[in-house]
Amino acid sequence: MNNAKQVFKINILLTILLSFVVNVFANNNDVYTPKRNSILDYSMIENDLSKKLKVDLAENNLKIKFGDVEEIRITNNLVEIRGQAFCVLPAENTQLPISFEAKVNPVRKTVADVQYKFVESNNAPSADEEILMRELMKQISRDYKTDQITIAIDGFETTNVANSQKGLRGIGEIKIGEVEWNKIKFDVVLNADKKATKIIYDIK
């Protein structure tokens, strides 16, 4: 009987000790405990995603609207976020669908990496068109010393150039600052890394 009582006491002590250890780890600042239905403040992802899109599209006036999002806990200090969102361009009354991935440290509340790509739709640009707009906007932004630039590509043709490069020649419309829309002709060459090695344009 005494042996049974001793075993019972030992079990109680072990239970209390285990409960104490769990509580210590739960209160440790280096361990992240997910909250129900949401484990992150999405504003930090929104900020990084907005910055990247503003640079790539040379457009300051845009917003991010999140759609379906999946949260994958890799470790206590690393959560991978994957999902759908819209890049909202209020000036053009346009929403460009994108898919994105982000790596977040929920303890330090930092974003390690954000990547996105446009999802093909009637409004979303093709891969070539996306790169073409980005390179044109960057060059024109430097030339005119403003980032208030909007470009609409009407059409372009692609040609193969030496050294695995691609030529894109076409027409579109451009709006710089508060100036009205103008026609633009362009001749751009992209290297294998999708960077422009030549940009010639004419605005009329």
Give every CB contact of residue 107 below 8 A, 6+ residues apart in sequence. 29, 30, 31, 32, 76, 77
Same-domain status, 87 and 145 = no
Under 8 Å between Cβ of 79 and 39: yes
Whether 21 is covered by a domain: the verdict is no
Find the mean pLDDT for residues 79-102: 85
Find the mean pLDDT for residues 74-99: 85
pLDDT at 4: 45
Same-domain status, 109 and 162 = no
pLDDT > 90 fraction of the chain, expressed in percent and rounded: 21
Find the mean pLDDT for residues 92-116: 86
pLDDT at 106: 84
Same-domain status, 57 and 101 = yes
- Please count the CA atoms within 13 angstroms of the CA of 144 that sit on its side-chain side: 20
Whether 75 is covered by a domain: the verdict is yes
CA angle 143/116/86 to nearest 5° reads 90
Whether 138 is covered by a domain: the verdict is yes
Band the pLDDT of 144: cuts 50, 70, 90. very high
Band the pLDDT of 120: cuts 50, 70, 90. low
pTM listed for this prediction: 0.47
pLDDT at 139: 93
Domain end position, chosen among 97, 118, 139: 118
Same-domain status, 162 and 186 = yes
CA–CA separation, 72 and 102 (whole Å): 10
Band the pLDDT of 94: cuts 50, 70, 90. confident
Number of structural domains found in the chain = 2
Range of the domain at 49: 43-118
Domain end position, chosen among 76, 99, 118: 118
Residue 75 CB: number of other CB atoms within 10 A?
8
Whether 154 is covered by a domain: the verdict is yes
Find the mean pLDDT for residues 113-142: 79
